[in-house]
Structure 1
Amino acid sequence: MTVAEQLSALSAILAQRSIHSLFQPIMRLSEQRVFGHEALSRGPSNSPLHAPLNLFTIARQAGCLTELEAACRESACRRFSEQQLQGLLFLNVSPESLLEPDYPSGQPLKLLEQVGLAPSRVVIELTEHTPTDDFQLLSNALHHYRDMGFSIAIDDLGAGYSSLRLWSELRPEYVKIDRHFIDGIHRDPLKREFVGSILQIARASKAQVIAEGIELAEELAVLVDMGVDLVQGYLLGRPQELGVRESRGLPVSTSVRLAEQPTVQLNATIGQLLELFGRHQHLDALQVVDSEGRACGLIHRYALPVPAIGPAQATRQAVSG
């Protein structure tokens, strides 16, 4: 297909708003429920621009990236609202679109009002495909969206040109580890070291880590052992037009593994926590349960407070989830 034909197909897609929105679930392990959905966009099934790589590449070349992303956001928000999906909606936005002088900064909020979604349920997920030079301008733009109630996520951490600096400069609420470091993590000690380092930085910056691209139960088992709580990938659910409307169980092997791991009560003492972590050196986190045995969060090895804090209060402060 010639470039002219691709540009013509793109023009038709934008004019007709013929974008298909798919939703991939993000699961919270500690509560075994759907935490949110990432919206993924496709062109018409009979179009050479059906694949997202082709669609966004030609839009970038044609200078229509901002317009295409706006159409994708509109489709995703409407479909998410119509299906009454649970949790948060993660919307992909490129930094280069946010930095365009004519970027319609008030458009997302207006769209959410039309479809009946609160900004607090939407996460702007920065997807970096080209170098970002003006960090200050990007930070200003994202602070503007934070002020409106949106949260921020950095996608593909470790793969972009400047993802670590973006994390340092923007202090996002969520970071998504690039699937390269998840693929085969059960066989690669270096990948486990990388993910472990990311988890430590996340605790210091109060960011939540999402591991994406999980396809094998063995990969998920390692992440569970390391204390990763938010997960995404084909093993948990493929992108589809109908999102997950109700919470569902995790894969059997994961549920069994979670059940076999030690748990702590909300009123556990510091001494009890230290003893459990001492007996289970491979664990980076322990599951916390209430008086009825229901999971209510995770307590991380490196998040234990100083002994001066009371035991019940200390446990609650160190719990995530």
Structure 2
Amino acid sequence: MLQLTSQAAFEQHLHRDIAHRYIAHFAGCWLQSHFQPIYYRSGGVFGYEALLRVHDAAGQALRPDLFLAGLPLAQQVDADRLSRVIHLRNFAASSEACCLSLNLLPQTVLHEARYGGNFELLLQRLGVLGLDTGRVVLEVVEYEVEQGEAALSQALRNASAAGFGIAVDDFGAMAAGHGRVCALRPDIIKIDRSLLLDYMHGDGGRLARLLQLGWEIGSRMLVAGIETEAQYRAMTELGVELYQGFYLGMPDFLPVRREL
């Protein structure tokens, strides 16, 4: 059973660090926000992807995916929603004028669709924080869209209708077709890094086909995992619009420019 069913319940888990950033305490661990920049081909900042960082009581870093997987299902949803809260507050406190991409567990998306209609609770929170819905991108991986519940695609369509951007990550990691993703027509498609590596080793056919597929359905194409200048230059020559990776910018805190 979900524990975080009210604003007061969320607030009990929230704290501030010495830099006034929001952090959360949940299941005996501390949750933090890091943000990795996403760049346009021109070099300007398109936005940031919010990334969860987890530390146990002793300060030892834990892999976020393993932390979440070790929780009961209802607590996974609670932890995911709590992570979203600190990401949104920290991003709003930074006063950045670009987009924010939020990675969501599929079960969280389904919960929001059932519990909040067209993401009513999230919409209300964005209003309080002064964030425009169109600047918030909800991101899920392709495997979950293609192989998960059909209700997930409908929930994402509801989110899109409510004004959120939709992104599909790890596109091309599956050998199977991309029918549900194509039907969803996400705003952003993030190419799986394996296709970038294949391209750099001389096998670029599949990457070219998937880029063309994304452009045909009207999605903005993003290549993640850029770790060298050569990779970056190769992708710009293909006409890719958006870029992310350690070569361009490491995940880090955003500065606090206003108090919430």
SS in structure 2 opposite 1:43?
strand
Using the TM superposition, give the Cα deviation of residue 94 of structure 1 relative to its aligned residue in structure 2, in angstroms. Answer: 2.2
SS in structure 2 opposite 1:189?
coil
Using the TM superposition, give the Cα deviation of residue 128 of structure 1 relative to its aligned residue in structure 2, in angstroms. Answer: 5.5
Residues 185 and 219, structure 1, Cα contact 8 Å, conserved in 2: no
Cα-to-partner distance string for 1:99-151 (whole Å, 9 max, x where unaligned): 3485543221122122111101000011356673432x223212221122101
Residues 95 and 132, structure 1, Cα contact 8 Å, conserved in 2: no
Q: Which residue of structure 2 aligns with residue 85 of structure 1?
A: 96
Structure 1 stretch displaced more, 14-23 or 142-151: 14-23
- Distance in 2 (CA, whole Å) between partners of 1:67 and 1:34 is 31
Residues 49 and 55, structure 1, Cα contact 8 Å, conserved in 2: no
Alignment CA distance shift 1:211-1:27 (3 Å): same
1:118 aligns with 2:132: yes
1:225 aligns with 2:237: yes
Instruction: Find the partner of 1:237 among 249, 253, 257.
Output: 249
Q: Which residue of structure 2 aligns with residue 106 of structure 1?
A: 120
Higher share in strand: 2
Alignment CA distance shift 1:160-1:70 (3 Å): farther
RMSD over aligned Cα atoms: 2.7
Gaps of 5+ in 1: 1-11, 246-321
- Distance in 2 (CA, whole Å) between partners of 1:65 and 1:102 is 17
Residues 211 and 221, structure 2, Cα contact 8 Å, conserved in 1: yes
Q: Which residue of structure 2 aligns with residue 313 of structure 1?
A: none
SS in structure 2 opposite 1:235?
coil
Alignment CA distance shift 1:14-1:162 (3 Å): farther
Q: Which residue of structure 2 aligns with residue 250 of structure 1?
A: none
- Distance in 2 (CA, whole Å) between partners of 1:16 and 1:80 is 24
The TM-score normalised by the length of structure 2 is 0.78
The TM-score normalised by the length of structure 1 is 0.64
Residues 183 and 213, structure 1, Cα contact 8 Å, conserved in 2: no
- Distance in 1 (CA, whole Å) between partners of 2:104 and 2:191 is 17
1:134 aligns with 2:149: yes
Using the TM superposition, give the Cα deviation of residue 15 of structure 1 relative to its aligned residue in structure 2, in angstroms. Answer: 6.6
- Distance in 1 (CA, whole Å) between partners of 2:100 and 2:239 is 23
- Distance in 2 (CA, whole Å) between partners of 1:184 and 1:169 is 27
The count of aligned residue pairs is 229
